[in-house]
Amino acid sequence: MKKHVFNAGPAILPEVAKEKTIDAIRDFAGTGISLLEVSHRSKDFQAVMDESTALFKELLGVPEGYAILWLGGGASTQFFSVPYNLLRTKAGYLDTDTWSAQAIKEAKLFGEVVVVASSKEGGYKFIPKDYVVPEGLDYFHITSNNTIAGTEIFAEPKTSAPLIADMSSNILSRPIDVSKYGLIYGGAQKNLAPAGVTFVIVREDLLGKVERAIPSMVDYRTHIAKGSLFNTPPVMCIFSALQALKWLKEMGGVKEMEKRNIAKANLIYNTIDNSRLFMGNVAKEDRSRMNATFSLKKEDKDLEKEFLDFAAAKGMVGVKGHRSVGGFRASIYNAMPIESVQALVDCMKEFEAAH
């Protein structure tokens, strides 16, 4: 049976990225050596690093003055690396989900943190909008897409401070104006690559301004100077990321992705809005195009397990909502074809007809 993988991350990858990864594990770039055994200092792997960086820059339209890093340790490592490198006295954070809350917690170890706005009281079911970012911040941090709640920030907040975004779960899903940001980071295992690699896009002139001593591995300048080869990088994940980037370019780039992602999101949210049984979890204008969260209407709550079993029997994987929210979640990242979303929607309609 065909499986439709709606996992929130690690998540679905383009078929071609998986196939090329397998080919390279057998024979990397015609070297006769496995991708899993190749030296990260070989010229063939250097070519992978260079092409990944160039293509990432090209697809996102990264302007001059920014460096691209490929690191290990996940976005969670960036939660403390960002303040370690950039927080002198005071930073602002927007609190929109568990992940921003985690980023806030780590930043507090390094200086004063102003939570400029939060939707925590409302169960993170919307993106705060009517707030003013105070002056005098070292930076202002947002989580651009919230995988657990299922909300997304579509308009960059106004701030005079450098804007920093955790884009783990919506990077490359639509065009962004990178010049509006000081730093963008994310774990790649949602919209780009297998679990194990983290990307950082950083405006270089922001660095070197804190007084504290920074461990070499945490200091972005180390990795900029060494082209992400200060230590052994996650070789296979970077190779797979490159294959996904090539696929994305061939598909038409981030503009085409946005079109497809809007179509997929409309398909599932329209189904939800026209349903007797299901309802969306969050404010309509803040609905994520990457993670559609929904629930059964109150009177039908007892059908939750039944729907999950029904969906699983039809090949739907990862439709269960995050344990802190419950209900359902369909993560429909770039690599997800609309056919899989249609399969889920059909499944929802069939279930509804039977109840």
Size of the chain, expressed as the number of residues it contains = 355
- The dihedral over CA atoms of 10, 101, 137, 128, expressed in degrees to the nearest 10, equals 90
Our CB check for a copy of itself shows the closer of 62 and 242 to be 242
CB 230 within 8 A of CB 73: no
Mask for 206-225, x = binds a copy of itself (CB under 8 A): -------x-xxxx-------
Closest approach of Cβ 106 to a copy of itself, in Å?
5
324 touching a copy of itself, by CB under 8 A: no
Structure token pair of residue 296 = 């059964």
Q: Is 194 in the site for a copy of itself (CB under 8 A)?
A: yes
User: Measured between alpha carbons, how far is 11 from 155 in angstroms, rounded to an integer?
Assistant: 25
**Nearest distance from residue 195's CB to a copy of itself, in Å?**
5
Q: Which is nearer to a copy of itself, 182 or 233 (CB)?
A: 233
CB 262 within 8 A of CB 289: yes
Q: Which stretch binds a copy of itself (CB under 8 A): 11-19, 89-97, 148-156, 171-179?
A: 11-19
196 binds a copy of itself (CB under 8 A): yes
Least Å distance between CB 141 and a copy of itself?
Answer: 15
Helix (H) or strand (E) holding 245: helix 235-251
Q: Are 240 and 192 in contact (CB under 8 A)?
A: no
For 266-298, letters b (16+ CB in 10 Å) and e give ebbbebbeebebbebbbeeebbbbbbbbbbbee
Site string for a copy of itself, 255-294 (x = CB under 8 A): ----------------------------------------
Nearer to a copy of itself, 40 or 57 (CB): 40
Nearer to a copy of itself, 25 or 338 (CB): 25
By beta-carbon proximity to a copy of itself, the closer residue of 277 and 347 is 347
* Site residues (CB under 8 A) for a copy of itself, limited to 97-156: 102, 105-106, 109
Q: Element (H or E) spanning 278, and its range? A: strand 278-280
Here's the x/- map for a copy of itself, 236-255, by CB under 8 A: it reads as xx--x---------------
d(CA 260, CA 244) in angstroms, rounded, equals 16
Nearer to a copy of itself, 228 or 271 (CB): 228
Token pair belonging to 321 = 């909502």
166 is catalytic: yes
CA distances from 170 to 46, 116, 274, 275 (A): 27, 22, 26, 27
Question: Is 119 within 8 Å of 146 (Cβ atoms)?
Answer: no
Site for a copy of itself in 56-95 (CB under 8 A): 71-77, 79-80, 84
Amino acid at 323: R
Question: What whole-number distance in Å separates Cα of residue 283 and Cα of residue 70?
Answer: 34
Active site amino acids: 99, 166, 190
Binding residues for a copy of itself (CB under 8 A): 1, 3, 5, 7-13, 18, 21-22, 25-26, 31-34, 36-40, 71-77, 79-80, 84, 102, 105-106, 109, 187, 189, 194-197, 213, 215-218, 230-237, 240, 315, 317-318
